[in-house]
Amino acid sequence: MSTPVTTSVPAAPAEDSGRAKSAPRLRRAKAHRPGRPKRSKLLTALTSLVVLYTVAPLIWLAVNATKTQSGLGDSNGLWFADDFALWDNIHDTFTYHDGVFTRWLLNTLLYVVLGAGGATLLAVLGGYALAKFDFPGKRGIFATVIGAVAVPGTALAVPTFLMFSKMGLTDTPWAVVIPSLVSPFGLYLMWVFATEAIPTELLEAARMDGASEARTFFQVALPLLAPGIVTVLLFTTVATWNNYFLPLIMLKDPEWYPLTLGLSAWNSQAETVGGEVIFNLVITGSLITILPLIAAFLFLQKYWQSGLAAGSVKE
Amino acid sequence: MTTLQPPVAAEPRPAPPPARRDRRSWTGWGFIGPFVAVFALVFLAPIVYSIYLSLFRDQLIGGTTFVGFDNYEQALQDDRFWAALGRVALFLCIQVPIMLGIALLVALALDSGRLYGKSFFRITIFLPYAVPAVVATLMWGFMYGTKYGLVGDFNSAFGWSLPDPLSPDLVLASIGNIVTWEFVGYNMLIFYSALRVIPHSLYEAAEIDGAGQWRVVTAIKLPAIRGALVIATIFSIIGSFQLFNEPNILRPLARNAITTDYTPNFYTYSLSFSGQQHNYSATVAIIMGLITMVVAYLVQLRGMRKGA
Amino acid sequence: MRRRTSRLLGGIALVTSVALGATACGGSDDGSGTEAVSAEDIQAALDKGGTVTVWSWEPTLKTVAADFQKKHPKVKINLVSERSGDKHYTALSNAVSAGKGVPDVAQLEYFSVGQYSLTKGLTDLSAYGADKLASTYTPGPWNAVTEGDQVYGLPMDSGPMALFYNKKIFDKYDVAVPTTWDEYLDAARKLHKADPKVYIANDTGDAGLTTSLLWQAGSRPYKVDGTNVKIDFDDAGAKKYEAVWQKLIDEKLLAPVTGWTDDWYKGLGDGSIATLATGAWMPANFESGVPNASGDWRAAALPAWTEGDKASAENGGSALTVPALAKNKELAYAFVEYANSGDGVATRVSEGAFPATNAELKSTEFLNKEFPYFGGQKANEIFAASAADVADNWSYLPFQAYANSIFNDTVGKAYISGTKLSDGLKSWQDASVKYGEEQGFTVEK
């Protein structure tokens, strides 16, 4: 697996710049440490055990995605079956029930663009406000957010459903998108990040020049927040992509299902009278579901890691 | 691990430095307003509605009546609720330290610079976080099968007789394993990121004092990332107390071991969806929310005070 | 003190009860439907056209819906089939609570019809002429959808029970196919002794199977009269069941595999699960889920509790109902009638559904059908005989869906610990009684 960050240069450029802008009270950490310690084979071996643990199930998934329904029954789960049916399975996954899987994939993308995008936008705006403004009610906001999140969501599902139903939102994409717009973790991350990354003097200077608040935000603050935004975007994307319970309650029409719900419906098809058993497509579909996220993590890792770094330094 | 949102950050106790006096105005609301509005709609309104519901009782026969705090009285004496709470508390005490311990050790190993192929480790250990809980649980569920799953394959391939991971004695551990698998990389990354920004001058000072590797870890690194440790612990507490997805999806495979009141969140779900007892379900949820808040707050107080 | 508060808040309470709709009172005006709807009215509605939303996971309805639309070009059937079981009921209850988004036609398993009719959630179809269809259906399913003169749905399929057995395994170990449950126990011991990997059946506690076997054994644990309910598992029939099943559990003769899982399908395929006592709808699932065991399996009559006793029971099966809040009731009824008593029945039977209609069950074509999966056996003869022998007077609880959901919390203990099956049933009874009382039923123990 190749990654854009090489091992010999621990701090990628983006990471470096992200840190350079971070808190004034921290002295800048240098990219290279003097007397870099020797590499340890023992430590590498031990860490490899953890990798084995995290990756083995994914390999199992990939191996079993190559099997037919009867191959799943006949063969050992640890290794390939006689027939290599991966391409057939992928083909079947996308064509089963008139290609409804594609529809679910597109729905998921829609929810991610609107939900995760919107959540990131709201978190960036909110975090910026908490970091750089003093306003009435500010102290109460975050405590309320934390308190609300501590209440188990399953019990709130029915009240939320009834409210949304009255507003005519159930069985529409909005029933999934609107609740996704709130990311308390994103708000927290942006708050901390904005505090560190945007020197207040810079904002003052922009205001002195007569820039409006909106203009100051977009032209001065936003560029400085970029690594943090990527981080929040990735986390909200994961949350939206993996969203299961709320869509389960809100959506009846399979036309609007996200992938998680669709896969679960396929899986439970085996539990119904006369239902076609398609565990092979469930497994292949699961594999296809996680690939885009893994790809996104790989390609964007230098950004999100630097954003997270600034976020976690705060105490 | 939770159902609605990613785990939330810690309370902003060490709040960012206050902005300037003269900017105290309503301008900030222009920026935070949209968040607050949506938050009020999707979180506060249902909670307020739930509190209202918790004061009533509705029956299949006889309709709805106002009962004051009867539901709360009932919940506080409900053995099923307390048993469920005890179960997640046990889960919390065992799974969370193991998960955070592994995450911390890996983060320290990565940060030590003594690993070959560091970025490979960093990304592969993080990967499971990208797997939806639904898929992760389906996957582990397939693997846990003693007849045809991975456990069964090991048994037949090596002639072992591994115990059934879904038996009543082991199922909580099996759930813990799934949760650990999903979140160990996520926590590792939080710790690792915190380690990366420790001011370098501290290490130089330690070097002059002739401190060894281990001493550097205990005297510099751990205190420096205390904030991250507290945040990760609080995430994990909320996650444990709200444990639902994993037992729910695993239940078809272990219906006797995973009861419908297995965790507090599962209990509220069953009350609401199988039993149509929305009022009582709301009551249990509110009590659970209060308990979660108190525990999270205590952990934070303690975590921040220690060595401060 | 509380009383006064409650009077003060009476108005609010009323609002909640409407909002929550636990009583589903929203549509009771339409639901009571004493006004007759003539065949002409229905025909007029068909000519005018419209959309009928159908919530059902029955796979054969797909073709039926297409045929119906061909016949009535102005009508569109919107078949929503992705949800089944609990998720289906959750969605239905939520929609009824909200008073919005309720389908025109909903599939209900027989055990849950009572709950929805009691809370006035269903339309009485007798006003549409459904009461004249009594003789169309076998008695078991018809009883399940009717209450006095009221008809709350039309039976879609039925599940007269049979014993499916893996002939290859029985032949291999030279064990006779059991005709009584005592012989079944013997066969279980022999098979497991011959090969420790072979179990007579899988069972990890299944409310549907247990209630069906109690039904066959002559136990009648539930007595329901409106809101008066009696729950008692302590009768002679239950004793017969407990005696055999307790031994199967104690001697570890049941495979610890839960039905409908990946492991289960594999076990049915590789011979480690040797029999399956279930409804006559099972063949379609065998063909789709266990393709690799084609030819191995056969069907036989369900073993008897007493030698020579022919009594059988139903397992599973469902009806199509018209919710009280449905918008297009004439069209909805027209579709239900077409699918479950009209031309749709033949279509569905040809696709593998098991009928609840007398005409189909008695037709020679149906009885002579050879099942290649069962080695050419005319299995329908066995199923039809079972349908005719279903014991009567069985009823489910008006909150059976809830009771079933806690079966494994209570009776399930017998499968995983030293708890006796009879104690498990007793605690299931206690929990059901408690729930019934909480919900306002008058419960006699």
| Average pLDDT of the residues in B276-304 | 87
| Average pLDDT of the residues in A196-222 | 89
Please give, rounded to a whole number of angstroms, the shortest distance from the CA of C308 to a CA of chain A.
Answer: 31
Q: What is the token pair recorded at A108?
A: 């998921």
| Average pLDDT of the residues in A171-187 | 90
Residues of chain A positioned with their CB less than 8 A from the CB of B130: 238, 290, 293-294, 297
State the burial class of residue C434 (Cβ atoms within 10 Å of its Cβ: 0-12, 13-18, 19+). exposed
Residue C279, pLDDT score? 94
Please tell me which of A4-18, A34-48, A143-157, B72-86 the model is most confident about, judged by mean pLDDT: B72-86
Decide if A235 and B6 are in contact by the 8 Å CB cutoff: yes
Pairing relationship of beta strands C75-80 and C201-202 according to DSSP bridges: unpaired
Whether residue C103 has pLDDT greater than 70: yes
Q: How many domains does chain B have?
A: 1
Neighbour-count burial for A174-209, b at 16+ CB within 10 Å, e otherwise: ebbbbbbbbbbbbbbbbbbbbbbbbeeeebeebeee
**Domain covering A97-312, topology:** MetI-like fold (1.10.3720)
Residue B110 to residue B225: CA distance in whole angstroms: 15
Q: Which of C263, C405, C417 sits opposite B147 (nearest CB)?
A: C263
Decide if A44 and B117 are in contact by the 8 Å CB cutoff: yes
Which sign does the torsion angle of CA A60, A233, A267, C415 carry?
positive
- Which chain B residue lies closest to C413 (C-alpha atoms)? B256
Report the complex ipTM: 0.80
Residue C416 to residue C427: CA distance in whole angstroms: 15
Annotate B126-147 with three-state secondary structure: HHHHHCCHHHHHHHHHHHHCCC
Domain that holds residue B230: 75-305
- Tell me what percent of the residues of chain A surpass a pLDDT of 90: 21
Q: Which residue has better confidence, A82 or A172?
A: A172
Residue A236 to residue A239: CA distance in whole angstroms: 5
List all residues 6 or more positions away from A221 whose beta carbon is below 8 Å from its beta carbon: A128, A132, A194, A198, A203
Whether residue B19 has pLDDT greater than 70: no
DSSP-assigned letter for residue C176: P
Residue B43 to residue B53: CA distance in whole angstroms: 15
**Phi, psi dihedral angles at B225 (to 5 degrees):** -105, 20
Decide if A168 and C80 are in contact by the 8 Å CB cutoff: no
Whether residue A315 has pLDDT greater than 80: no
Residues of chain C positioned with their CB less than 8 A from the CB of A270: 260-262, 265, 289
Q: What is the largest CA-CA distance in chain A?
A: 75
Decide if C22 and B276 are in contact by the 8 Å CB cutoff: yes
Q: Which of A72, A158, A168 sits opposite C94 (nearest CB)?
A: A158
* Domains of chain C, each with CATH number or no CATH: 13-158+316-362 (3.40.190.10), 161-313+371-444 (3.40.190.10)
Residue B192 to residue B119: CA distance in whole angstroms: 12
Give a yes or no: residue B262 inside a domain. Answer: yes
Please give, rounded to a whole number of angstroms, the shortest distance from the CA of A266 to a CA of chain C.
Answer: 8
Tens of pLDDT, residue by residue over B219-240, are 888 988 888 898 789 888 888 9
Decide if B31 and A282 are in contact by the 8 Å CB cutoff: no
Which sign does the torsion angle of CA C89, C92, C95, C97 carry?
negative
Contact between C164 and C282 (Cβ < 8 Å): yes
Q: What is the token pair recorded at C169?
A: 């395994």
Decide if A148 and B7 are in contact by the 8 Å CB cutoff: no
Task: For chain A, say whether B296 makes contact (Cβ under 8 Å).
Answer: yes
Mutation site, B43, B71, B178, B215, interface A, largest A CB count within 10 A? B43
Whether residue C345 has pLDDT greater than 80: yes
Q: Is the pTM higher than 0.95?
A: no
SS3 B194: helix
Q: A36 pLDDT band (50/70/90 cuts)?
A: low
Q: What is the token pair recorded at C267?
A: 């076990």
Q: Which residue has better confidence, A305 or B114?
A: B114
Residue B94 to residue B85: CA distance in whole angstroms: 14
Annotate B59-101 with three-state secondary structure: ECCCEEEECCCHHHHHHHCCHHHHHHHHHHHHHHHHHHHHHHH
Residue A35, pLDDT score? 54
Decide if A270 and C266 are in contact by the 8 Å CB cutoff: no
Q: B305 pLDDT band (50/70/90 cuts)?
A: low
SS3 C346: helix
Residue C34, pLDDT score? 54
Of A153, A172, A180, the C-alpha closest to A237 is A180
Q: C5 pLDDT band (50/70/90 cuts)?
A: very low
Residues of chain A positioned with their CB less than 8 A from the CB of C349: none
SS3 C122: strand
CATH for B163: 1.10.3720.10
Q: Which of B268-272, C311-315, C361-365 has the least mean pLDDT? A: B268-272
| Average pLDDT of the residues in C121-150 | 92
Of B34, B139, C198, B234, the C-alpha closest to A290 is B139
Residues of chain B positioned with their CB less than 8 A from the CB of A191: 12, 16
Task: Report the Cα–Cα distance between both ends of chain A, in Å, rounded.
Answer: 34
Residue A309, pLDDT score? 62
Q: What is the token pair recorded at A259?
A: 């992938």
Q: What is the token pair recorded at A245?
A: 């319970």
Please give, rounded to a whole number of angstroms, the shortest distance from the CA of B213 to a CA of chain C.
Answer: 50
Which residues 56-95 of chain B have a CB within 8 Å of chain A?
Answer: none
Residues of chain A positioned with their CB less than 8 A from the CB of C60: 274
Residues of chain C positioned with their CB less than 8 A from the CB of B63: 17, 22-23, 25
Pairing relationship of beta strands C150-151 and C154-155 according to DSSP bridges: unpaired
CA of residue A2 relative to chain centroid, distance? 21
Long-range contacts of C268-271 (CB under 8 A, 24+ apart): C268/C166, C268/C293, C269/A73, C269/C293, C270/A73, C271/C166, C271/C168, C271/C169, C271/C198, C271/C296
Task: For chain C, say whether A274 makes contact (Cβ under 8 Å).
Answer: yes
Q: What is the token pair recorded at B235?
A: 């995430």
Residues of chain A positioned with their CB less than 8 A from the CB of C268: none
Q: Mean pLDDT for chain B?
A: 84
DSSP-assigned letter for residue A212: -
Give a yes or no: residue B112 inside a domain. Answer: yes
Q: What is the token pair recorded at C387?
A: 């349908």
Q: A305 pLDDT band (50/70/90 cuts)?
A: low
Please give, rounded to a whole number of angstroms, the shortest distance from the CA of C113 to a CA of chain A.
Answer: 18
Domain ranges for chain A = 40-84, 97-312
Q: C250 pLDDT band (50/70/90 cuts)?
A: very high
